[in-house]
């Protein structure tokens, strides 16, 4: 009895109120999107009516998650993870294919659909927290432990990729932040940033141009290690500018960049080979790996990705070259809706772009457009501040824990929230690629709402008992 009283007193109501505020905003925005077709707020045959039903289901699920003893989540973390993996396998075999992705189970009695990848996020957070908090497990120095932790993340990610849902699969990369908090060496994350930059370069430029850019870059690295570096920098700059000018005159820029880069590379490498042979070898290996990686990315983009996936990346990287009535339609109308709101917006239920349904998927992936059009800059800024407050609060809950299990679980929740929030809002404004993931607690979708509710409810439960644990 005493323990239950302590749990009630320690419940973090700030997190609960932030959660409820976002859920309420979500319902109002879904209602605004469907207002023309179904003006009755409690019309359960409408999309917002269905969303209201899922809100009730999510609240019941959240309350149940809080009532359950917190020891259940520690003891059954791996079985819950196993159930999540099983559901991902079953949906591959028996799921319903929608928009090229076999990611859904059709629920009976017309309730709607269930997406196992949403449950898998919760299950993976639990399993990762359980593993990282196990005695004698360390990802700081033990490579085997790092690989096991990465395996927990990559297994559901791979199964979701097989479903054809790349967007949901990418969400799991956010859990790498949990490993960083657990002590994963920062150099690995720096390497990840370099790989991301090379990937973008590979998608922006032709293979021969990429080769030239990399040759020039590593040439300058070589020259920077020469004894009289000022002279060699001047020489390199002079040769490069001369050859570039000539290439413009004769229209063979990319070939001249490659030839110039190769000349500088060989010259500077020969100059320092005798005294710094290991450095030359290391830089040469990195150069070969970089060229090979960028060429492989270019090949994968042109030969492995589906046309709609190529279009999404092209819309992000080359928006000026995309037909606004074709592949760029969603983004163009999204920007139109957001900009139409101005500072204060057109008013609740007054969104013209929203009501004319110019933006596809406006109640799900692009619901931020509705916020922008009807409530303007002030409304979108307030919503963003709500998300930042919730994420910072979740991190605060993690940092005040006595046990690593809850701390790592909290960081998992914060990571997934941040990834969804940042990518979704970014893609509606064109600063991030359109990968089709919902805005947490706002977008229409029962599976997403239930998943985020359970994620939050379990954290609130674990946090509420932190002082009563021995």
**Do 297 and 202 form a contact (C-beta atoms < 8 A)?**
yes
pTM, 2 dp: 0.84
In SS3 terms, 28-93 reads as HHHHHHCCCCCCCCCCCCCHHHHHHHHHHHHHHHHHHHHHCCCHHHHHCHHHHHHHHHHHHHHHHH
Tally of CB atoms within 10 A around 196: 10
In sequence order, what are the beta bridge partners of 102?
A: 97
> What letter does residue 438 receive in the DSSP assignment?
P
The pLDDT assigned to 262 comes to 54
Domains in the chain: boundaries: 14-187+329-361+385-440, 195-304
Rg of the chain on CA atoms, in Å: 26
60: tokens are 């019941």
The pLDDT assigned to 277 comes to 53
The pLDDT assigned to 454 comes to 96
The pLDDT assigned to 241 comes to 56
Distance CA(249)–CA(87), nearest Å, equals 61
Q: Which positions ≥6 away from 230 have C-beta within 8 Å? A: none
Inter-CA distances, 307 with 137, 165, 302, 311, 327, Å: 43, 14, 9, 6, 10
Distance CA(395)–CA(69), nearest Å, equals 22
Q: Please choose, from the candidates 178, 183, 185, 180, the residue with its C-alpha nearest in 3D space to the C-alpha of residue 409.
A: 178
Burial 282-299 (b: 16+ CB within 10 A, else e): ebeeebeebbebbeebbe
Distance CA(445)–CA(335), nearest Å, equals 23
The pLDDT assigned to 164 comes to 85
207: tokens are 């293979």
Q: Phi first, then psi: give them for residue 114, nearest 5 degrees.
A: -125, 135
Mean pLDDT, consecutive 10-residue stretches, the chain (470 aa), reads: 54 94 95 86 86 93 94 94 95 84 78 86 96 88 91 95 89 94 86 82 74 64 55 56 53 52 54 54 68 80 80 79 70 87 91 83 90 94 96 95 93 96 91 88 92 96 80
Element (H, E) at 97: strand 96-98
Torsion sign over Cα 168, 169, 170, 172: positive
**Do 139 and 414 form a contact (C-beta atoms < 8 A)?**
no
Q: What share of the chain is helix, strand, coil (3-state, %, to 5)?
A: 70, 0, 25
**Do 364 and 448 form a contact (C-beta atoms < 8 A)?**
no
The pLDDT assigned to 60 comes to 95
Q: What angle do CA 176, 182, 185 make, to 5 degrees?
A: 75
Inter-CA distances, 165 with 27, 158, 187, Å: 25, 10, 30
66: tokens are 């809080």
- Bridge-based pairing of strands 113-114 and 96-98 is unpaired
Distance CA(337)–CA(356), nearest Å, equals 11
The dihedral formed by the CA atoms of 339, 340, 343 and 349, expressed in degrees to the nearest 10: -130
Diameter of the chain by CA atoms? Answer: 86
Helix (H, G, I), strand (E, B) or coil at 114: strand
């Amino acid at each position: 009895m005493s323990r239950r009283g302590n749990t009630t007193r320690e419940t973090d109501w700030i997190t609960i109120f932030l959660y409820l505020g976002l859920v309420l905003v979500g319902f109002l925005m879904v209602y605004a999107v469907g207002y023309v077709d179904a003006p009755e707020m409690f019309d359960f045959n409408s999309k917002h009516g269905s969303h209201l039903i899922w809100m009730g289901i999510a609240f019941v699920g959240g309350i149940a998650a809080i009532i359950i003893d917190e020891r259940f989540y520690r003891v059954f973390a791996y079985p819950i993870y196993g159930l999540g993996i099983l559901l991902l396998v079953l949906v591959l075999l028996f799921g319903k294919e929608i928009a090229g992705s076999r990611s859904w189970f059709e629920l009976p009695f017309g309730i709607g659909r269930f997406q196992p990848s949403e449950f898998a996020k919760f299950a993976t957070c639990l399993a990762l927290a359980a593993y990282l908090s196990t005695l004698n497990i360390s990802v700081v120095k033990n490579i085997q432990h790092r690989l096991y932790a990465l395996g927990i993340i990559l297994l559901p990610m791979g199964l979701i990729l097989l479903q054809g849902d790349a967007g949901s699969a990418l969400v799991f990369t956010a859990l790498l932040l949990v490993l960083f908090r657990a002590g994963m060496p920062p150099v690995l994350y720096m390497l990840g940033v370099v790989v991301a930059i090379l990937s973008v370069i590979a998608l922006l430029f032709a293979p021969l141009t990429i080769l030239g850019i990399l040759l020039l870059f590593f040439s300058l690295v070589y020259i920077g290690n020469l004894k009289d570096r000022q002279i060699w920098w001047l020489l390199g700059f002079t040769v490069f500018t001369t050859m570039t000018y000539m290439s413009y005159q004769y229209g063979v820029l990319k070939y001249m960049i490659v030839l110039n880069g190769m000349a500088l590379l060989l010259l500077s490498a020969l100059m320092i080979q005798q005294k710094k042979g290991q450095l030359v070898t290391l830089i040469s290996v990195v150069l070969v790996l970089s060229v090979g990686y960028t060429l492989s990315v270019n090949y994968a983009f042109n030969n492995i990705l589906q046309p709609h996936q190529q279009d999404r990346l092209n819309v992000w990287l080359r928006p000026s070259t995309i037909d606004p009535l074709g592949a760029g339609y969603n983004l163009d109308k999204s920007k139109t809706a957001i900009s139409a709101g101005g500072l204060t917006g057109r008013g609740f239920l007054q969104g013209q772009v929203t009501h004319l349904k110019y933006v596809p998927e406006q109640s799900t992936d692009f619901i931020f457009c509705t916020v922008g059009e009807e409530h303007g800059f002030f409304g979108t800024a307030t919503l963003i501040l709500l998300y930042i407050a919730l994420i910072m609060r979740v991190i605060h809950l993690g940092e005040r824990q006595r046990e690593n299990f809850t701390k790592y679980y909290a960081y998992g929740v914060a990571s997934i929230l941040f990834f969804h929030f940042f990518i979704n809002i970014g893609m509606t404004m064109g600063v991030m690629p359109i990968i089709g993931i919902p805005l947490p607690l706002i977008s229409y979708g029962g599976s997403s709402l239930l998943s985020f509710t359970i994620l939050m409810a379990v954290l609130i439960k674990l946090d509420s008992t932190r002082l009563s644990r021995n």
